[in-house]
Every structure is written in C-alpha cells, then in structure tokens.
Amino acid sequence: MPMFHYVARRPGGEQVSGELELATAAAVASQLSENGLIPIRIEEGRESAAPREKKAFSLSLKRRPKKVRLDDLILFCRQMYSLTRSGVPMMRSLYGLIESSQNPTMQQALRGVIENLESGRDLSGAMAAFPEVFPNLMTRMVQVGESSGNLEESFRQLGEYLEFEKLTREQIKAALRYPTFVIIAIGVAMTILSLFVIPTFEKVFAGLGADLPLPTKIIMGISHFSVAYWPYLLVAAVAAFYLLRSYLRTEKGTYRWDRYKLKLPVVGSILMRATLARFARAFAMGYGSGVPLVQALGYTARAIENSYLGEKLNEMRNQLERGDTLTRSAANLKIFTPLVLQMLAVGEESGSVDSMLLEVAGFYEREVEYDLKNLTSAIEPILIVIIGAMVLVLALGVFLPMWNLSSLMR
C-alpha cells in the first residue's frame, strides 16, 4: 500500500503532521477523522523534511562519538511516561529531560525534537528524524500512542520492553563470557606453541636428519605461511570485514543476515522467540489502542527490526486484506507454535485479540528467559567439541615429534 503524508489540526487548533500507510487518500482522511483530527493536506509519496534533518544530525554525531545507551532510552521512556501522565506540557517535559540527561548526544537529539515540534511536526515524526538515537520501534509505538490518544501508555510499555531487552542482552553476555574466554585462551596457546615451541623441534630434527611427522608439518606450514604473508593476510582480513559490513547494510544483505541468524545453532531459536515476543507486544498495543488491524500490523512489521520476519508479517497483512482470519493467516506463516495459534484463535473468537497477544508475548518472553538461563549448559557440548579438536591438533603437533625424537635418540 502507498504511504501518505498528511497535515492535520487537533480540535484545539494545534497543527500536526505524520504518515499513514493506507490504500487511498480517502481512507487516510477517514482514519484521521476517527482519531479526532481535521485533515488539511494529504499527499502521496512526497519526501518530508525528515531526511534533511537526519543528514544534519548524522554529521553532528561524528563530532560527538558518545552513543545513546539502552539505559538512556529506558530513562527517557520512564520520565516521559511520568510527565505525560501528570499533564506536564510536552515542551516543558523535553526541556526538563535535556537538563537531566548526562549524554550529550541525547541532549542534542532532544533539542532537535523540540525544533521539529515547533515547526509543526508531531512527536513521532520529530523523533523519526533521529534514527541513530530513537529506534524504529520506539517511533512507531509513539505514533500509535498519538493516533489513539494514549501516549503515556505507549511510553510505559516501551519502558517495560526496553528493560526486558536490556535484561536479555545482559543474560546473553553472561552466558557467552566463559566459552569465549576458554576459546580465546586455547587459541593463544596454539599460536604460541606453533610459533615458538614447534620450530625448535624442526631445528632438532633437521640436525639429526629426521623428518617431522605429518601433523607437525601441517602446523609448521601454516606457521611459515602466516609469518611470511602476514601483511597480506591482515589487509585481506580488513578488506573482507569492510566488504561484509557494506554488504550487510544493503537491503539484500540485511534480509539474508536477518534470515540466517534465526537459524544459528542454539542462539537462533532464542532470537526468533525474542523477536516474536516483540511483535506480539507491539501489535497488541497498537490494536488495543484502537488502530485498525491491518494498519497496526503494518506498523509492527516495520518496527520489529528484522526484515525477514517483517516480510512474513507483510504477507500476513496481505492475507488479512483478502479476507482471511487472523488465526489462519498466522498459521500460513509457519513461524508460530500451535499453542500460540490456539491462543490467537481464542482471542479472535472472544473479541479479545489484544489481551491474547499480550499472553503470547509473555509466553515467548518466559521461554526466552528460561533458555537464556540455560544457555551455558546448551553451549557446553559445542564448546567441548571445539576444545577437543584444538587439543587433538596440539597433541598431534607437539607430542608426536617428542615421541619420535625419543625413539631416534635410542
């Protein structure tokens, strides 16, 4: 469906602007009227002023390398929820947040948001001009809150979601810390043995006129190659890194990586369920706030930050537009568990889809939390195989020459 940019006024005369993805301009006008807005101008496909603001802000970010952390976004959502709920005017709230923030990048972004608000944009459009600071999910959720008149609830749910995201990241880091340390230690040991220990055997064997065993010759060949061509290897590694990063930034590369990482051993299933939990919670909030089902699904598809699953959700939206039920279209995607599909069917039958979606989000979040707690145990078999392979290489490369040397001396 096309994207329409609109300018409208609230009943009090305040001018707002934004974008909606609907079939026709008449549908956009109808949606604005249902949200209590008076349409002034509706245009299709025209570029807004956001890209210019985004470019200017991107240049300023290069001068301020400090990034906005997840803690800063959590504090922003919590404070905005409290201030909005208390009835504090938006401008006063943002100026207060600038004074209380300790992050220069966050302060600069909030000043830009204030400038955009003063120029007539709505809050979600003002935040969308700074994607380096405010994620797509946050701006879409704020847009849903503005459309439904329930902005404080959007900030509350965003704060809870970001706190869950922070907890998930900390648990993943804690689970991977020990395996990473072990693999790095073994790798350093192999490097030292290959570069300093095994060459001594080569000299001794050469002086005695004996040949090194085949495994040791292989290790020595790798060592000689690395020492002789390390500048070229370094340049090739750096070039490969930048080429891969550039490819992953393209639309095709992002899609393939988003699809591949969901199939990674052990971690892929956790990422899949965490993304589906994000989808269910965002979709429940949008639909529960009164946004039409198809439109809420379109917002959510762009907000989950996974292009592969976003395409799946767009397929689901297309099936809904053709008249399919929510449960049947979700079943056709083959990404939801039977329990989740049953909960969706109950919610669709009872008219409580939003509450059932929140149950789905809770179900996935509990599964993710449980799997993260047991992630170390799941990684241990893979770690044992890797360490065993490294130890085998060391044993064949180091101890075989020693055994051959002792027999040769005899």
Extract the tokens encoding 60.
Answer: 């300023």
Q: What is the pLDDT along the chain (410 residues), one digit of tens a residue?
A: 567 777 777 666 667 777 776 667 766 776 676 666 677 777 776 444 334 343 434 334 444 446 788 888 998 999 999 888 888 888 888 888 888 888 888 889 999 999 888 887 888 888 888 888 888 778 877 877 787 677 888 888 888 878 877 887 787 777 778 778 887 887 787 777 777 777 776 777 666 666 677 777 787 787 788 778 888 988 999 999 999 999 988 989 989 999 998 888 878 888 888 888 878 887 887 777 667 778 778 777 777 778 888 888 888 888 888 888 888 888 888 888 887 888 888 888 888 888 888 888 888 888 888 888 787 777 778 888 888 887 787 777 777 777 766 666 66
Enter the DSSP assignment of 15: E
Q: How far is CA 341 from CA 1, 332, 381, 386, in A?
A: 27, 11, 33, 39
- Find how far residue 141's CA is from the centre of its chain: 16
CB–CB of 148/290 below 8 Å?
yes
For 371, residues 6+ apart whose C-beta sits below 8 A from its C-beta are 269, 270, 273, 378
Location of structure tokens 């429940």: 284
Ramachandran angles phi, psi of 149, nearest 5°: 75, 20
Distance (Å, whole) CA 350 – CA 295: 21
244's tokens: 């891969």
State the number of CA atoms in the 13 A half-sphere of 299 facing the CB: 27
